[in-house]
Each structure stands twice: as C-alpha cells, then as structure tokens.
Amino acid sequence: KAQLDQASWSFLPEVELDYEVSGDKPTIFVLEVPNLHDLLLLHGIRCDLIISESGRVEVRLLPGTSFNAVESSLGKIVKENRISLISYDSLSMPLKSTFVGTQDFPGRSAAIALILGQAQKLCSTQNVCVVSLNHVTVHPITGQNKPYGGQIVGYDFKFSLLLERAHYSIVDDRTVVNPSSAKDANRVLRIHRHPSYPEYSQSIALKLGEEGFVQ
C-alpha cells in the first residue's frame, strides 16, 4: 500500500487511491512475483529450472502446462476484472537473478519467449495492452544500448523507448524534437523501435523532478 501510494503521488498527484475493490470503478491490482519460477507459473507455464553439471540453467516444461493464456492465473484475473493494461516492473530482474552467465542465454530466451508469448495471447484475446520496464545492456560492437534479454525482448514489443540520462551534448542533438527544453533536461527519451521511424531517429528532452517528468 505504501509503495502504491508513493508511485501514485509521483505520477498522478491529483488522484486519491481507494483500496476498496469495486467492479464499477477503475482498479489497480499489484502482483508481487519476484521469482522467475512463480512468474512463469502465473502465466500458466509449469516448468522446472534444471541446472546441468556445467552450471547451465535450462527451462524444462512439465505436464499440465496450459498455452491457453486465458486459463492461466493471470488470464483469469484479466478476464474476471476486465483488466485493460498489464505492466511488468520489471521483466529483466527475475531473469538476472536466475540466468547469471553467458551459457544461460538459451534458457533465458526460452523463459522470455514463454512469458511474452502468453502476454501476446492476452493482448489478442482480451484486448489488453502490455507495457514493460526493462534494463539495458551495451552492444559490444556498436556501443549502443539494447534491451537486456536479447533480440526477443526488442522484437516482441511493437514500440520500444529508451530512457537515459541527458548529457550536455543533448543541446546539439538534432533528433531532439523539443530543443528549447534541452538545456535544462536531465533525461532524454529516445525511439528505439517504432513501426514508422528508424532507430534513434527522434527523442524528447525531459526534466525529472520531485513531481515527475516535465518537458
């Protein structure tokens, strides 16, 4: 409750939260699932996380797994409460605590594919929008930031935005669509993936203060 109050105050200071669940009012459900195994189970994926003798972590499906996303625990919550938005905060943390080495990349990709595959089914069958916060890693060749988790994270979302600290060079950045705000900005939001724009072709200068983001 305290965390939700703090988040609401930061982003929606004019909104007062009511903790009485009502079917005729907008409702926020917070599910705290930090463990990857439990997160997969929430999406209807019954599995074991197998550690080989070499230390590789693999995802092995178990009987009883339902790929009917609506029948999963998350799907039932979405359907029964007419949920219209699912937000993952964050998708990468359960992965980082489970897949710690480069030899675990196949298992990590499998786990992400299972979670996002179920989420996409909820999007198409229940008219749900999915938003996810994700950490970034640096591409070893280009030096640019990319979503942690590999290509599957980047390509499974229709839109991908990169939020990073703004440096003095942002003043001369021609991709910034609001250059008048660049001087006082301490954050910059860039297009990473968009169906109509090239990567990093547009960005917006933002200032993060006590009351949240402002242009």
- Residue 143 has what pLDDT? 66
Q: Enumerate residues 6+ apart whose C-beta is below 8 A from 34.
A: 93, 94, 97
Distance, CA of 88 to CA of 104 (rounded, Å): 22
Question: How many residues can be counted in the chain?
Answer: 215
pLDDT at position 86 is: 96
Say what the pLDDT of residue 144 is: 67
pLDDT, residue 118, reads 96
Q: What is the pLDDT of residue 119?
A: 95
89: which DSSP letter? S
Residue ranges in the chain modelled with pLDDT below 50: none
Q: How far is the C-alpha of 2 from the C-alpha of 209, rounded, in Å?
A: 20
The predicted pLDDT at position 192 comes to 85
pLDDT of residue 74: 96
Structural domain spans, the chain: 2-157, 161-215
Q: What is the pLDDT of residues 55-114, one digit of tens each?
A: 899 999 999 888 999 999 999 999 999 999 999 988 888 888 899 888 898 898 999 999
Structure tokens at 60: 């092995």
Residue 23 has a pLDDT of 65
pLDDT confidence of residue 13: 76
